[in-house]
Chains A and B, each alone.
Chain A
């Protein structure tokens, strides 16, 4: 099952612009994570936000979480051509002490020079 739905499915912007992608999920969670995937490669962990947090920053990344709406957003500021990739949200709802992530459908970001 895929917990998250991401919006938009694809996003095309110019270098220097900001990119915002959204994720909605269905059940209560412990945390929500964002990953990046370059074409044909594995995923890379970007940032984690816990269910009791509302906003988190890491470099040019800003993540928000609204547990009442079961949604999250990822903002990439001052985008670069190297940011071109697919971005996935993933939620963890396990209570075993181990993670078991459920991934969204992803947003394909194209940043043009």
Chain B
């Protein structure tokens, strides 16, 4: 079955640590996206990529970094510079044109 996989489901980070969230898709989609969701809130765009080896900052990119070395993979690193990283992180992918996004099941990150 085609889909998008995020791992881990839960992640705990100590103060000052960098952590990397994984996102893999086998849908052959060109575009991939990372969103952050805070409790009771909508989704805010962190980074997106429309093609391999290229990515763009979204609305809240500070304290985050990404790479897009393969079409299937778009990992997100939450760096120590992100002062309030506790949130639910969602990865999505889409094809060119219309059709909507396919979302992963999310990673819940907690700072301990």
Inter-chain contact B42/A103, CB cutoff 8 Å: yes
Binds A, one of B13-21, B67-75, B90-98: B90-98
The count of residues in chain B whose C-beta lies closer than 8 Å to any C-beta of chain A is 29
In the bound complex, CA of A10 to CA of B70 (Å): 40
Q: Does A18 contact B (CB under 8 A)?
A: no
Inter-chain contact A40/B96, CB cutoff 8 Å: no
Q: Which residues on A sit within 8 Å (CB–CB) of B106?
A: 40-42
Answer whether A42 and B103 are a contact pair too, CB < 8 Å, given A88-B42, A100-B45, A100-B48: yes
- Which residue from chain A places its CB closest to the CB of B59 in the assembled complex? A1
Most chain B beta carbons < 10 A, residue from A1, A92, A98, A106: A98
Q: Mark B39-75, 1 if CB is under 8 A from A, else 0.
A: 0011111001010000000010000000000000000
Give the A-B contact count at a CB cut-off of 8 A. Answer: 68
Inter-chain contact A99/B90, CB cutoff 8 Å: no
Q: Which residues on A sit within 8 Å (CB–CB) of B101?
A: 35, 43, 45, 99, 101
Q: Which residues on A sit within 8 Å (CB–CB) of B2?
A: none
Inter-chain contact A96/B50, CB cutoff 8 Å: yes
Q: Mark B3-44, 1 if CB is under 8 A from A, else 0.
A: 000100000000000000000000000110101000001111
Answer whether A99 and B31 are a contact pair too, CB < 8 Å, given A2-B42, A88-B43, A105-B42: yes
Q: In angstroms, how far is the closest chain A Cβ from the Cβ of B10?
A: 10
